[in-house]
Structure 1
């Protein structure tokens, strides 16, 4: 990430096309699982880190869950608030690593979906996020992460170029460089149209499941579940995982 980029950069550059690019993602399974988890723990509000355009937030709130959110990008939050129900969800603009929503309440559940935790670009930021989540959880509260398994095998000479969309008037590419020492992916979404070229940078610092577990232990959280997806299927290291950490009740 260059010096003129911050945690808000990706959202600010992509808010107007984010929903279009991810239109094939059905949030239904995530929403059902998160609603069930919210009902299993202590009574209290729920916090989403990096709410984005409300892909999960809005349908989860529609189930009666009291939701709060944090996001670094005002443009993404503006998109969310333009959707039915999105204007009713309180969102704080800020860095999700700080976990500082505009409420004094502690939370029964904190969650971050769709690999977004890896947008925290250093191990220090990721460890800080775990610690701050633990600080804001109620006893017995849970921290839920959806993360992909890092697929480093797809990179030849630590680089990769993929075609994500081909249409009559557009081609969308993703070009990525891999830094195995820093566990970093630095890349660009490149949209080629008759009107020109649009580029949007995206960087991630991936972490392996064992590393996430250690971050949780450092924060005083205990792993309760690791599933292969939102249907609570067994984790097989194929594709990704949903992991649930819990703050001890005593």
Structure 2
């Protein structure tokens, strides 16, 4: 049984609007370009495919794509964009489920898990399970790509547990931290057309890049590269996020 939140119909129905900035071509374009290059003509599997923000344009670019998704309402939103025979999706836990697609497990050239979703499972064991399941899906030489924010605990003064990360006319976002358990809750207040606010809380286990590297080693993967974004900006101590590429050895 996964500890991750299972997003309901209301969250799924509003997801694309609430995350509209992440659907912008300036965000999606470099992401799709990098993933298509890493797929290198082979099939790809997205863990936590959601409403298809990246999977749909990646498929439209010519890369065969399948997905795994825990939330049935999110799959319903995806189905409004593409048919099941175009992008097959397994409803299940990305740490254990098999992808249902034209290629069998062990034959994917690319598995990707993006937009901080590695933090959705609330235990380290389940996060390790995501790496193990990714490695199980990959062909020798295949790549597992993880996009994740770097925990920003430097903004948290001693004794303070909450930090705002966005305050605009349409959205107020606050992260609340539990450092002892390495957990955070992101609280979102989204302004509605009638002027009211709708609240959405998401729960996460934040994870450091070095910890992800150890998870990869447990799964038999090795870090190939790490950049600060999809365009390849060098990763530094001041980077707020990272795109990490792990590789299954070709001679596995």
Query: When the two structures are superposed, what TM-score results if normalisation uses the length of structure 2?
Result: 0.87
User: What is the CA–CA distance in structure 2 between the aligned matches of 1:223 and 1:19, rounded to whole Å?
Assistant: 32
Residue 223 of structure 2: SS of its match in structure 1? strand
Aligned to 1:30: 31
Alignment partner of 2:214: what SS? helix
Cross-structure match for 1:203? 203
2:168 match: secondary structure:
strand
Matched, 1:95 2:98: no
Q: Measure, in 2, the Cα distance between the counterparts of 1:113 and 1:187.
A: 17
SS at match of 2:210: helix
Q: Which residue of 2 aligns with 1:213?
A: 213
Greater CA deviation, 138-147 or 92-101? 92-101
> What is the alpha-carbon distance in structure 1 between the residues aligned to residue 228 and residue 198 of structure 2?
35
In the superposition, the TM-score normalised over structure 1's length comes to: 0.87
Alpha-carbon offset, residue 197 of structure 1:
4.6
Q: Which sections of structure 2, spanning at least 5 residues, go unmatched?
A: none
User: 1:243 and 1:99 mapped to 2: Cα distance?
Assistant: 22
* Match for residue 82 of structure 1 among 80, 98, 107: 80
Given that 1:80 and 1:87 are in contact with CA atoms closer than 8 Å, whether structure 2 keeps it comes out as: no
Match of 1:52 in 2: 50
Deviation at 1:122, TM superposition (A): 0.9
Q: Determine the C-alpha separation between the residues in 2 that align with 1:86 and 1:31.
A: 21
CA distance in 2, matches of 1:13, 1:183: 28
Q: Is 1:153 aligned to 2:154, yes or no?
A: yes
Partner deviation per Cα, 1:213-246 (whole Å, 9 max, x = no partner): 1111111111111111111221114121110001
Q: CA deviation at 1:174?
A: 2.4
Determine the C-alpha separation between the residues in 2 that align with 1:151 and 1:12. Answer: 30
CA contact (8 A) 1:142 1:247 kept: yes
Aligned residues: 240
Contact 1:145/1:242 (8 A) holds in 2: yes
Per the alignment, residue 172 of structure 2 pairs with: 173
TM-superposed CA distance for 1:102, in Å, is: 2.2
Bigger drift between 148-157 and 23-32 goes to 148-157
Q: Shift of residue 188 of structure 1? A: 2.5
Shift of 1:76: 1.3
SS of residue paired to 1:226: strand
1:84: how far off?
Answer: 5.2
Write out per-residue CA displacement over residues 44-96 of structure 1, whole angstroms, 9 at most, x where no aligned residue.
42100111111100000011111100111111111111125787210111111
The answer to whether the aligner puts 1:135 opposite 2:157 as a matched pair is no
SS at match of 2:220: coil
Give 1:10's aligned residue.
7
- Asked whether the equivalents of residues 94 and 133 of structure 2 are also in contact (C-alpha less than 8 Å), the reply is no
Cα 1:13–1:181, aligned 2, differ >3 Å: closer, same or farther? farther
**Alpha-carbon distance, 1:173 to partner:** 2.3
**For each residue in 1:151-182, what CA deviation from the matched residue of structure 2 results, as whole angstroms up to 9, or x when unmatched?**
1123341113455431xxxx532233201122
Partners of 1:161 and 1:241 lie apart in 2 by 21
Structure 1: distance between partners of 2:35 and 2:191: 37
